[in-house]
Structure formats: structure tokens, C-alpha cells
Amino acid sequence: MPPRCQLLAGNLSLPFRCLRQPPPSYRTFATSQPLAAAKGGDLGSHLPKHVVPKTAPVPRYPYGDSRLFRQADKGLYGGQMIQFGNNVSHRTKTKTRRIWKPNVVSKSFYSVILKKKIKLRVTTSVIKTMEREGGLDEYLLRDNETRVKELGPTGWALRWWLMQTPQVIARMRAEAAALGLAKEVIEENWPAEPAWRTEVKLRQEQLAAEKMGKEEEAEEMKKEEYHKWLRQQSSKLLQRRELLRTLSKREIDAAPSRLAKLKVKVTPDVEAMAARMEKKERMEAARAAEEARETNTELSETAEVGASSDQMRLQALGS
């Protein structure tokens, strides 16, 4: 018996008992749910410029852009900016110029009101403030002059966009009513439907109507062009048929250019149009023949009346 099998329990007299056991089989299928969008939201993170529409009438930031640290305008820096100073040696008192930059990270924050993630460049101190406030929405909506100064243009635009949502409007109206403000004041400052949204809706309706009118006009032009092409092809088809009826085979072979000029793309619509045009021509020819016949009849009757009157006049003169 091999040494590696001597300490095993059981009857190992058979040589095949020491063979290596087959590896365990692993499941090759997944039972977890696929990644799906949250109910009422969407997946992925969005940049602020994709959250606030370009056409939105965002009011101007009251404190203006940053003049010393311009990258702070594109994120939430909490008023922090680059600082300049010196490293001073304790032994020789030598000064070495250096700078201090804020600790900026790129992070996505979920907005409960907008139901989407917003990717922002924020400082770590702002992240701590957000955690203390209760999230991105509460940080942006804090009614404080110091907070407004910390927001910057990007935070100001996000704050304004949040304040246009029905959820925040209802919240502000409830707070104003709890403070005892008059209903007229509440309607003036926090209307249920902002005026700019009404203007945007009207503008969208006008644009939709103009687009519909342009599409209808283009469709009418296409129809007119198509009918014009049909008439041209049908007239060519009729001329070609008339030419084929009048010319003999030898004449057709001798003058192929005349038929080449009347080259027609025959389609069911062209044939139908040609049939209608041919029928119309026959009806016009029949009408013209009928009018000519009536004219000849009137002329003959007039001639007969004139001849009879001449005879009567001659008889009267002879008597």
C-alpha cells in the first residue's frame, strides 16, 4: 500500500481507492438580480451642466465668480482656495515659498429631490458638512448667507434648480404658512407654478406648432412635386404610345433618339395617371366634336332659314 494511503480509514486494499477525487462542480449561473434603475430615478452620475438645462433662466450669482481660485466656480469648495506662504527653518530661519491647496475630491452625491446622482468636485470639509446637514439637498437648500457664499456659481445653479421642483415649493409654502404669512404673500413669492415654467411651456408649444406646420408644408410640397412628376411622366408615356402607334418598326429603328427623349419610368401611379389623362383627352375630344356638331347644325339651320326668306322675298317681288 502506498504510504500516503496508510493513514486513511476503511478498506483500501483496492488500488483504485487512492485515486484523486474529482474536483467539486461550481455553479455557472447567477441568481442575483441584474442592475436596474431605481423606481422613479436613473442610473449613473450626471455632471451639473447636464442636470440644470442650458435654457433655464438661472439668476446671476450675487457674489460673482472667484477671481483668485477659478476652479472653485466649477465645484463645491466651501469658500476654500489656494494659499501662499513660506516654510521657515527652525535652525537657520530660512524661508522657502510654498502653497497650500484645498483637499479636492471628485465624488457623486445622490439627490433625493431630483432622484439622480450628481458628480461634483468637492472638498473634504464640504463632505463633512453634507453629512452633518443630511445630504446634498439639505446642504444646498440651507437658508443662510454664509452658506450661499460657500456655494459658488455651480452650487447656486443647483440650489435654484432644486427650488423650482414641486416638492421644494410645497415645502417652502408650508413653512411660510406656519410662520403666519398671508396667502397673497405666499402666492407672490412661492407660486405653485413658476412663471418661467409657464413661459417655457408656451414656447415649447409654439415650437411644436411651428415644427408641425413646417412638416405639413414640407409634406404638401413633396405631394405637389410628386404630382408634378407624375403628370410629366404620364404625358411622356402618352406621347410615347402615340409615337409607337404612328411610326412603323422601320421608322422606330431609324429614329431611336425620338424614343430616347421620351424615356419613362413606368410605375403603377404613372400608368393610372396616364389612363386618367387619356380618358380626359378622349372626353375633351368628344366634347369638342359635340360642340362642333351643334355649331354645324345651327349654321345649317340658319342657312335654311335665310334661303327660305330669300325665296319668299323673290316671290313677293314677282307677284
Is there a contact between 156 and 61 (Cβ–Cβ < 8 Å)? yes
Picking from 156, 173, 194, the residue at the C-terminal end of a domain is 156
The answer as to whether 219 is a domain residue is: yes
Residue 274 grid cell: 396616364
Instruction: Give me the percent of the chain exceeding a pLDDT of 90.
Output: 34
Cα–Cα nearest to 256, from 267, 247, 269, 268: 247
Domain total for the chain?
2
Q: Which residue has the cell 450626471?
A: 46
CA 42 – CA 19 distance, rounded (Å): 55
- Each residue of 102-120: pLDDT tens digit? 999 999 999 999 999 999 9
61 in Cβ contact with 152 (< 8 Å): yes
> Are the C-beta atoms of 57 and 196 separated by less than 8 Å?
yes
Are 222 and 145 found together in one domain? Answer: no
Between residues 43 and 57, the one the model is more confident about: 57
Beta-bridge partner residues of 84: 99
* Domain assignment of residue 266, given as a range: 213-294
Is 310 a domain residue? no
The single-letter code of the amino acid at 47 is L
Residue 231 lies in a domain: yes
**pLDDT of 37:** 53
Angle between helices 268-318 and 195-246 (to 10 degrees): 60
CA proximity to 204, closest of 212, 215, 193:
212
Query: Which CATH number do you get for residue 152?
Result: 2.30.170.40
Classify the C-alpha dihedral 10-13-14-15 as positive or negative: positive
The structure's pTM equals: 0.53
Of 185, 147, 191, nearest to 169 by C-alpha is 191
Residues 6+ away with beta carbon under 8 Å from 13 = 1
Does residue 29 fall inside a structural domain?
A: no
> Quick one: 152 and 51 in the same domain?
yes
What's the mean pLDDT when you consider all of the chain? 79
Instruction: Kindly give, in sequence order, each residue whose CB lies less than 8 Å from that of residue 212, ignoring residues fewer than 6 positions away.
Output: none
What digits encode the pLDDT tens for the residues 148-201? 999 999 999 999 999 989 899 999 889 889 988 888 888 888 887 777 777 777
The predicted structure's pLDDT at residue 77: 95
- Helix spans in 115-266 (H): 124-133, 136-141, 145-163, 166-178, 183-189, 195-246, 249-254, 256-261
In terms of Cα–Cα distance, which of 151, 160, 158, 172 is closest to 197? 160
Instruction: Note whether 49 and 149 are same-domain residues.
Output: yes
pLDDT of residue 160: 93
As a residue count, the chain comes to 319
The answer to whether residue 182 sits within a structural domain is no
**Are 150 and 217 contained in the same domain?**
no
The continuous run of DSSP H or E covering 295 comes out as: helix 268-318
Indicate whether 243 pLDDT > 60. yes
Among candidates 53, 60, 54, which has minimal Cα distance to 153?
60
Q: For residue 181, tell me if it sits in a domain.
A: no
The cell for 51 is 442636470
Verify that 117 and 219 share a domain, yes or no. no
Q: Is residue 319 part of a domain?
A: no
Strand partners, 119: 108
Residue 30's pLDDT is 55
pLDDT higher than 80, residue 47? yes
Tell which of 90, 123, 156 closes a domain.
156
The answer to whether residues 155 and 180 touch, using CB atoms and an 8 Å cutoff, is: no
| Domain-located, residue 252 | yes
